[in-house]
Every structure is written in structure tokens, then in C-alpha cells.
Structure 1
Amino acid sequence: MTSAIAELLPALRTGTLITLKLTVLATAAALLMSVLAALLRRSRWKAVRVLAAAYVETFRGTSLLVQLFWLYYAFPLLLDIRLPVLTVAVLALGLNYGAYGSEVVRSALEAVPKGQTEAAIALNMSPFQRLRRIIGPQALAIALPSLGNLQIELLKGTSLVSLITLGELTYQGMLLRTYDMSRTTLIFGLILLLYFLIAQLLLLVVRLLERRFPAGRVGA
């Protein structure tokens, strides 16, 4: 058993590193899209709100797998532009989970007591200053638990990119299985363990952030 695991580990280690890289990049893209879409849906201009809502509903209402296939296979045919597979994976995951995250961020912004905004206006703060110094930190404290859950979902969603040949953890496991199907149980057992460990690491990061931005500060 030990020797079998030792033989499998190099490929699984490579896949794990790619999964971690993909998760970090896609999380950053999703967070950017979450904040941007949430702010645009609160815009004073109706056209902007409609466009932001269209993005959110489109990516929430369609399959992530189809979005991956569309960006990897259909997009190059449409515009004659072929993107690297990692870029496609980051875009698809970022846009998809960003759409879900935008609702979390929008709800968190609306949950901040209006008196906080009124006090910031009274202090003659600009909209950007209000968001950065007053509204943003309080909304972040509210949104963190839900955003943490979405990040775990995003991690699990990275397994789909194996279908567009990105050599992440699931892809490496499937490749190993083609060489020796007798080790199927061991291979997928190790993959389950590695996903679990990565998820625990992400949860730890979220909990540290929750201590840094305690929800109890909201409304203080």
C-alpha cells in the first residue's frame, strides 16, 4: 500500500498544485465580479442595473459545464481567439461564482444600517470613501461566512475543468486510473482526502478573516 501511494503521489501533487493555483485565481476573479456586479446593481442608472442583472441571471441560470465548453470550444470559433486552458477555467469559474457572490455582497451592503451612510455623508465623505472606510468593512463582515461557503463550492467546481484537459487534481486521478484500473479505489480515496484537506485550509483562512472583521462591529 505504501509503495503504491508513493507511486501515485508525484502526479497527484502536480494536480493539487494546479488545483490550488486555479482556486486562488478563480476566487480572486469571482470576488472582483461579485463586488463589481453588486455595486452596478445599486447604480442610479437603470441601464447599468439591467446589464448587471442580465449578467447575474445568465451565469446563475446556465450550467457551469456548458459555460466552460462554450469558452473553450465555441468562443474560439466565434471570434477566432483561442485562450489558454487555465485562462478559460479562471474566467468560467470567476464569472459563474461571481454571479452568485454578487447577491451575497449586495445583500450585505443593504444590511449595513442606513445611519452609517448618513453619518458618512454628514462628514462630507465621497462615495468611494464611504465604501472603503465605512460601508465596505461592515458589509465584508456580514458577507464573509457566505462567501466562504461559495469558495468551497468553487473548489469543488474546479474538478469540472478536467473535461477541458486542464491537468488539475481530478484530471491527474483519471489519468492514473487509465494506467492501472486496479488502483481505482486508492486513487479516488487519495483525491477525496486531498480535496478535503484543501477545503479545511480554505475554511481556516475564512475563519481568520472573520476574526479580523468581526460581524459584531456592524452598526457600532
Structure 2
Amino acid sequence: MFSPKKLIAENKGFILFMFGMVLVRSALADFYLVPSSSMYPTLVEGDRVICNRLAYDVKLPFTDVILSHVADPARGDIVTFSSPEDGTRLVKRLIAVPGDVVEMHDEQLVINGVPSDYQEAFDNPANHLTPRREYQGKQLVYQETLGTKQHGIIVMPERQAMRSFGPVTVPAGQYLMLGDNRDNSKDSRYIGFVKRELITGRVNRLLYSLDGDNYYLPRLERIAAKT
């Protein structure tokens, strides 16, 4: 006869191990599969990123309840968060912090009256562009400077997208997120600001990456790569 108590007793070590793994992923560090092209050229489809869940806050496991602050999210950070629209886990770049006045004019960001600097990048690998199966038009790659931080972005002049907005003031306790693939990202332009408690961690490094367009072979150059 089936006995739940016997089953638990015989598998106690495995059950404790699995519970510990779930607890670690909820409270300390998590792994996140990048499912779309919204963060090209920085993150590509098939990347598995490591998310530091203690980068900003200590939370009650399995909840969004903040127990204590560790550090403040900063402009330019890549973060994971739960979408305020439907709870979907997303990964985007944090562009503006509480109190910032943000606007965008024809793709150019202006934060607190200071325009961001852009330099066209000519040496970006072709496999870091939006896949041709998804978009066949022109893609331009720029290095965007936010304060002292630089990162790549992609713009698609032939695609319909929200290229201008604002000015808007970021409310207290909330943040503005954008995808690096600016014309192919559902971000704060569409889902609104993101509350701090919805941020689930910071991404600084990849674990590994599998190329779905090449029989899911590993991209060796992206193993343990920094973002």
C-alpha cells in the first residue's frame, strides 16, 4: 500500500536538497533564460544569465516583501523584474531612477536635461543582431553612454516603434526600464514604471548560451561572459 510517510522518509535527503535549491533560487541567486531579442546586442536568445537576488534587497523567500535594503539600483544596470502588466519575468536595462526627468526624441535619451551620447559601432558581430527570421530591415548599432557607463543598443529605422516620449518624472520607489534593442522591446514605454519590490535581481554575468539556430550548440565565447 502506498504510504506518503514512507515515501518522504525514504527520500528525505533528496526532498531537503530540492527545497534548498528552490530556497536559494528564491532568495540568493537565480538563473534566467533570455527568451527574446529585446536585449540584443548585449544579451541574445539562448543566453542563460545569473541573477544576483541580493544585489539590491533582502526579501522574504517566495515573496516580494523587502526585509532590508542592500544597495540602490543604478542607471545602466541590467535587471530582472516581474512585469507590472502581467507578472511575466523580464530582463531589461535600468535607465532612470526615482526623481529623474526622462524624455526621448527620435531614439535619443535625455535624462535630467542631459542628452545621452551615441557613437555608431561598426564591429558588432552579426550574431548579435536581431535574427533575420524576425526582422529583415536595416539595423544600426550604437554605443550609448549613460553617465559613466557605456553599452550597445540597436535601432531599426524601418520598424514602427515608440521613438519619442516625455518628459516624464520617475516616481518615488519606481524605475524606468528599456530594452537595448530599442525598437523591438516591450518595456516601460508600454508597461509603465517598475516598482522596486518587483525587481528580482541584477545580471552581471552569463552562465552559458545555446544557439537555437544552430542545433542548440553552445556558444563557447559566452560561457561565464560578463554582461
Q: Could you state the TM-score of these two structures normalised by the residue count of structure 1?
A: 0.24
Tell me which structure has the larger Cα radius of gyration. 1
Higher relative contact order (CA 8 A, sep 6+): 1
Structure with more of its chain in helix, by fraction: 1
Structure with more of its chain in strand, by fraction: 2
Q: Could you state the TM-score of these two structures normalised by the residue count of structure 2?
A: 0.24
